[in-house]
Amino acid sequence: MGKLISNYFFTVLHQLLLMLTPFITTPYVARILKAEGVGTDAYVLSIVQIFIVFIVLNLPMYGSRQIAIKKNQEEASVEFWSIFTFQLIVSILNLIVYLIFIQTLSSHKELYYIHISTLLAYSLDVSWYFIGKEQIKRIAIRNMITKIAGIFLIFTFVKHSQDLPLYVAINGGTLLIGQLIMWRPLFKEIKFVKLPIKDMKEHIRPIFLLFIPQLMIQVYALINRIVLGNVSGEIQVGYYNQAYKVERIAIGLFSSMGTVLLPRMASEFSKGNKEQLRRYTDYTLRFVLMITLPMTLGLMAISPNFVKWFLGTEFTSVSNILILMCPDIIFVGLANVFGIQILVATQQQNKYTISITVGAFLSLLINLLLVHSHGSIGTTIALLVAEGVGAVFQMYYARKYFHFKNFLLLFIKYLILSVFVFIVAVYLGKVLSVPPMLLTVIQLLAGVFVYLFGLLIVRDPLLFKTVRGFYNRMFLKYDKAQN
Under 8 Å between Cβ of 339 and 214 = no
Average pLDDT, the chain: 81
What are the extents of the domains in the chain? 1-202
Quick check: 478 pLDDT over 50? no
Give the residue from 211, 205, 202, 204 showing the smallest Cα distance to 353.
Answer: 211
85 by Cβ neighbours in 10 Å (0-12 / 13-18 / 19+) ranks as: middle
| CA end-to-end span of the chain | 27
Which pLDDT band, with edges at 50, 70 and 90, does 198 fall under? low
pLDDT digits (tens, 9 = 90+) for 237-269: 777 877 887 787 777 666 655 555 555 565 666
What pLDDT does residue 28 have? Answer: 85
Q: What average pLDDT score do residues 80-87 get? A: 87
Give the residue from 397, 105, 14, 40 showing the smallest Cα distance to 235.
Answer: 40
pLDDT digits (tens, 9 = 90+) for 212-237: 777 777 666 667 777 777 777 767 77
DSSP category for residue 190: P
Question: What's this model's pTM, rounded to 2 decimal places?
Answer: 0.70
Under 8 Å between Cβ of 83 and 151 = no
What pLDDT does residue 115 have? Answer: 94
Give the residue from 157, 173, 36 showing the smallest Cα distance to 115.
Answer: 173
SS3 state at 243: helix
Is the CA virtual torsion 244, 358, 330, 60 positive or negative? negative
Give exposure, 348-369, as e/b (b: 16+ Cβ within 10 Å). Answer: bbebbbbbbbbbbebbbebbee
Give exposure, 34-58, as e/b (b: 16+ Cβ within 10 Å). Answer: bbebbbbbbbbbbbbbbbbbbbbbb
Q: What average pLDDT score do residues 400-408 get? A: 86
Highest mean pLDDT among 19-23, 307-311, 476-480: 307-311
User: Rounded to whole angstroms, how far apart are CA atoms 363 and 370?
Assistant: 10
Which pLDDT band, with edges at 50, 70 and 90, does 95 fall under? very high
